[in-house]
Amino acid sequence: MSIKADFQLDAKGLSCPMPIVKTKKVMADLVDGQILEVSATDKGSKADIAAWAESVGHQYIGTVEEESVLKHYIRKCSDDTMDEQTFERTIELEEAVEREGLILDVREEAEFAFGHIKGAKSIPMGELEARLSELDKEQEVYVVCRTGKRSDLAAQKLTAHGFTKIFNVLPGMTSWTGDLTSFSSAERG
């Protein structure tokens, strides 16, 4: 399938948050109505780019997968797009682990499988809306990803769906120095 795009961005080989960082930079130079094609290999970029576009007012058109490359299409909707919002309630990873509540890991299943915090629940960002019923709105939820960018978008999404006890874990799993547990089907969720 070939979709006409005004500009192409190569983000292959980059992982979160770099596809979004590079997309944001290119989108700033586009004219209202132009379409950007972002080529990426990070499976998480599908949910990340869609959530980012929605959060700033651009139109996420869709994603086409060709072999192992995801081609994301985003239309610039306005020169006066919304300022990018960051989730206000944050918590450090070490503090979140010590508190009562759920650690929600929104990284891709493969990332979770190769190492996660014991007891964390895995719901990849791209599955979050479909799996909201698995979460308790009365429980504190500490949303974690690799760097804090994807978890920020997930925290915003949860809050938009009526969750009030949400915290974005910063800076994310890249800073975790504690024990890692490898995948077990019982923890997948």
> Which residues does 21 contact at the CB level (< 8 Å), separation at least 6?
none
Are the CB atoms for 175 and 168 separated by under 8 Å? no
CA-based Rg of the chain, rounded to a whole angstrom?
A: 17
User: Which of 43, 4, 36, 3 is CA-nearest to residue 22?
Assistant: 36
Please name every residue paired with 73 in a beta bridge, in sequence order, or none if there are none: 37, 62
9, 16, 143, 170: the active-site residue: 16
16 is catalytic: yes
Put residue 148 in one of left, alpha, beta given phi > 0 → left and psi -120 to 50 → alpha: left
3-state secondary structure of 189: coil
- Crossing angle between the packed helical segments 149-160 and 45-56, to the nearest 10 degrees: 60
3-state secondary structure of 89: coil
Please list the active-site residues.
16
